[in-house]
Amino acid sequence: MFQQEYKRKLIDVYEAVNKIKSNDFIITGNVAAEPLTFMENMNILKDNGVENVTLINLLPLKNFDFYSNPSYIGVLNFESMFYSKFLSPVHKAGRITFTPNHLRNCGVDKMYYLDHNKKPLNIYVLAVTPMDKHGYFTSSSYGLFNRDVLKKADMVIVEINPNAPRTFGDTQIHINEVDYIFEGKGDIIYAPSKKVNDDDRKIGKYISELVNDGDTIQLGIGGIPTASAMELKDKKDLGIHTEMLNDGLVYLCKNGVVTNRKKNYFPDKIVTTFTLGSKETYDFIDDNVGVLHLDVKKANSPYVIAQNDNMVSVNTTLQIDLMGQCASEAVGTNQISGSGGQVDTAVGAKMSKNGRSIIALHSTAMIKTGDGKEKRRISTIVPVHEAGTIITMCRADVDFVVTENGIAALRGASLRERAKSLINIAHPDFRDELTEMAKRYNYI
């Protein structure tokens, strides 16, 4: 029965791309659900004279030529709800625009925008796992807002990827929900964690002091969260409720640290809304009923997160001022990434019984100067943020802040206490200057 329907809906990639018409709005899947074969053939649009197509994504993994090639101006417009590294220069060139959001609401808000402005969502295209005997595909490592988009889109096109991990949760898509199917090349883009350095390890050790046996944790991606995972290897009975399942968290699972027995929300299960990492991590989630990829409205709701007692969130920021305001997605007006689920998870952890939210960062960073050939070191703890800087997390939501120099506890602290605590974990070379500026601004 389902095989007959599959054959009836089966087309090739060229036919699939040709479904796009001028002025269409399109949303693509993300992480392992990014339709790479489809995207590789978008040049067909230019060849066919298609114009003014808007492509909406979140954390795309492949830097296709059309993002920066000026010959696509007038053909493709781009919107993103979270920038990958390669999209920041595209933003500077004026070729893409950013959609501010908290990750928990990214799909809901985008659907609201389209409805409110009477704009259609013409096509939803994503990569999926092969159909099972019951007629179901899965959106692989991508839960996020999959269900919201499926309901809204006029047309759903799926790219079959036999190498994508099959998952459980809100990732199931029945063939009755699909308009067209094509079989892709089977490419997968992996994103293994960065190597950790000595400062990452120091930060990880401080973070481990704030995590107890039996806690439920959320870790972001990058050197600091990876180092934190390594430092948690001697903990017991940890649970995972996270926005993103990654290499560090899977490391803890494989080393017997994670049991999920003491979680309140879906005990005995890992809860995430997407997975991004190495092949080993994708192999871990493949056909694993112990991992649930839930809709982001659920997984990232602070009220849902807070159902887990002893919830600990660990996120990173680019820069923090002496009041505790975190600039985690941009410095100045230069959009680098996005809010993601930082506020969702931090607020949810603080709402949890005995919960803790941790913001981590290196106390210094290297920036290019002049013509870009030289670099200088700056403090990432600043008296005030540069004009135009986007504040991702407001000062009232910040709890613990950790650098390689120690821990600052800001929850309930006055401005004077905050400034002193943050100066104490700043790099020693900048503490005198920060103290002077704190006095000037009447913080201390």
Looking at residue 84, what is its pLDDT?
94
To the query of whether residue 243 is one of the catalytic residues in this protein, the response is yes
Domain at 198-440: CATH code: 3.40.1080.20
Looking at residue 1, what is its pLDDT?
82
Record: fold of 2-183: Glutaconate Coenzyme A-transferase (3.40.1080)
Rounded to whole angstroms, the Cα distance separating 410 from 398 reads 7
Regions of the chain short of the pLDDT cut 50:
none
Beta bridge partners of 228: none
Tokens of residue 261, six digits = 């027995």
Tokens of residue 13, six digits = 């990639």
The strand order across the sheet containing 168-169 reads: 168-169, 291-293, 270-272
Q: Where in the chain is the domain with CATH 3.40.1080.20?
A: 198-440
Looking at residue 372, what is its pLDDT?
67
Q: Where in the chain is the domain with CATH 3.40.1080.10?
A: 2-183
Looking at residue 440, what is its pLDDT?
96
Looking at residue 27, what is its pLDDT?
98
Rounded to whole angstroms, the Cα distance separating 38 from 31 reads 14
Q: pTM for the full model?
A: 0.96
Rounded to whole angstroms, the Cα distance separating 375 from 398 reads 30
Looking at residue 33, what is its pLDDT?
97
The one catalytic residue in 243, 280, 329, 433 is 243
At 381-436, the pLDDT tens digits run: 999 999 999 999 999 999 999 999 999 999 999 999 999 999 999 999 999 999 99
- What stretches of 80-165 show up as alpha helix (H) in DSSP? 87-92, 106-116, 146-152
